[in-house]
């Protein structure tokens, strides 16, 4: 909880400018990738849950307590709240912290507005993409705005032109996504796994192995593509930590041969080959797959019939393009039109249809 508070306090003092944020405390510019990483770090440090109606006798349920535990001060203005809701002042007094506690334990659920700069109903009404993720979960919209929306420059104080006010009652309760599920494990530079981790794998194709539950799916995908005249080539699947260490060190040495120092070479190498413990290949859930007529792992892969088929159909099999173009500042990895990751059909359909990264998906569904 201490870590969450420290990180959230840093977010509070950020002056937002477009997709960049200036962190006054550290004196550095934070780009979109770092903002999302910070949000994920906060999400990972606390339990965020949907706010449900108050239980009988005014006692908070466990779910309500978890939602109320989140720090909403960044959007709360006690002076505004007191002026807007004299009935609340009459009931609990005008102390700023008491008014804040009223907002997080009951006012939010009653649809009360915490400040002139934020209105949860307006925020929800402006963005259909958030409605699809959070449904009628009011607390999640407030948390999303604090952790991500402000940094993205999203509007929360007035309706965008062409938008109409939507009632929370008209939205459904969205089922919570279990991010601890085996197919949704996030592995990247900020979320490493133990180098001793070794999943159960089975032979898939071309001598390559995949996670035992993914192997038959990949085999079916390759067969279906072939039936449609598309020949795919599985270039790489599961990799052990030792194999990943070899590949990473080889790339580091390549950059050193170009004249870069050790530290810079390691940073550059990590954008192409993830360091051991930071590669999804170790999970057996991802693969480098190409058109059989062009097996080079280059951006030209995007021009092949194999890639075009994969991009159009991968979600049907539960796969996503893991490192899309123009998302390098979020994933920390270069555009790789050959790298596909299994996340399950439901998650893959949302990620591919919305054009977001796995990092963004995890951050949003962690609220």
**307, 337 contact by CB (below 8 A):** yes
First to last CA, the chain: 16
**361, 300 contact by CB (below 8 A):** no
Give me 226's structure tokens: 């072939």
Neighbouring CB atoms inside 10 A of 110's CB total 13
Backbone angles phi, psi at 278, to 5 degrees: -115, 10
Instruction: Please state, in angstroms and rounded to a whole number, the distance separating the CA atoms of residues 208 and 95.
Output: 65
Placement of tokens 């890639």 in the chain: 307
DSSP 94: S
Catalytic position from the list 64, 208, 280, 336: 336
Question: Strands (DSSP E) along 173-260, which ranges?
Answer: 201-205, 208-211, 232-236
Backbone angles phi, psi at 306, to 5 degrees: -60, -45
Degrees, nearest 5: CA angle 210-214-218: 85
Instruction: Please state, in angstroms and rounded to a whole number, the distance separating the CA atoms of residues 279 and 3.
Output: 26
Residue 336 annotated to the active site: yes
Q: What is the CA radius of gyration of the chain?
A: 23
- Which positions ≥6 away from 54 have C-beta within 8 Å? 60, 64, 105, 106, 109
Instruction: Please state, in angstroms and rounded to a whole number, the distance separating the CA atoms of residues 343 and 287.
Output: 12
Which residues on adjacent β-strands are paired with residue 29?
22
Neighbouring CB atoms inside 10 A of 132's CB total 13
Which residues on adjacent β-strands are paired with residue 339?
288
Backbone angles phi, psi at 352, to 5 degrees: -70, -40
Residues annotated as catalytic (active site), given as ranges: 336
């Amino acid at each position: 909880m201490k870590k969450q508070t420290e990180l959230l306090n840093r977010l509070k003092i950020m002056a937002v400018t477009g997709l960049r944020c200036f962190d006054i405390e550290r004196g550095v510019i934070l780009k979109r990738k770092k903002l999302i990483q910070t949000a994920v770090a906060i999400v990972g440090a606390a339990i965020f849950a949907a706010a449900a109606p108050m239980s009988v006798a005014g006692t908070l349920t466990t779910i309500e307590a978890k939602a109320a535990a989140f720090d909403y001060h960044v959007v709360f203005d006690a002076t505004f709240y007191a002026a807007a809701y004299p009935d609340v002042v009459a009931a609990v007094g005008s102390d700023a912290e008491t008014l804040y506690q009223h907002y997080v334990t009951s006012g939010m659920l009653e649809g009360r507005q915490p400040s002139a700069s934020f209105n949860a109903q307006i925020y929800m009404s402006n963005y259909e993409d958030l409605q699809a993720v959070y449904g009628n979960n009011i607390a999640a919209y407030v948390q999303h705005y604090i952790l991500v929306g402000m940094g993205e420059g999203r509007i929360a104080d007035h309706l965008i032109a062409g938008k109409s006010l939507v009632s929370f009652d008209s939205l459904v309760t969205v089922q919570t996504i279990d991010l601890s599920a085996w197919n949704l494990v996030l592995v990247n530079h900020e979320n490493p796994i133990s180098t001793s981790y070794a999943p159960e794998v089975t032979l898939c194709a071309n001598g390559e192995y995949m996670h035992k539950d993914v192997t038959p799916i990949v085999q079916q995908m390759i067969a279906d593509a072939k039936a449609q005249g598309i020949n795919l080539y599985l270039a790489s699947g599961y990799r052990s930590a030792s194999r990943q260490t070899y590949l990473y060190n080889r790339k580091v040495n390549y950059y050193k041969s170009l004249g870069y120092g050790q530290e810079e070479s390691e940073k550059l190498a990590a954008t192409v080959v993830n360091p051991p413990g930071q590669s999804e290949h170790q999970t057996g859930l991802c693969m480098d797959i190409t058109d059989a007529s062009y097996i080079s792992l280059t951006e030209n892969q995007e021009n092949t019939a194999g890639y075009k088929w994969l991009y159009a159909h991968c979600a049907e099999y539960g796969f996503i393009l893991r490192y899309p173009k123009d998302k390098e500042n979020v994933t920390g990895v270069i555009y790789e039109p050959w790298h596909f990751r299994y996340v399950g059909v439901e998650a893959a359909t949302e990620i591919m249809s919305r054009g977001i990264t796995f990092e963004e998906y995890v951050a949003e569904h962690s609220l």
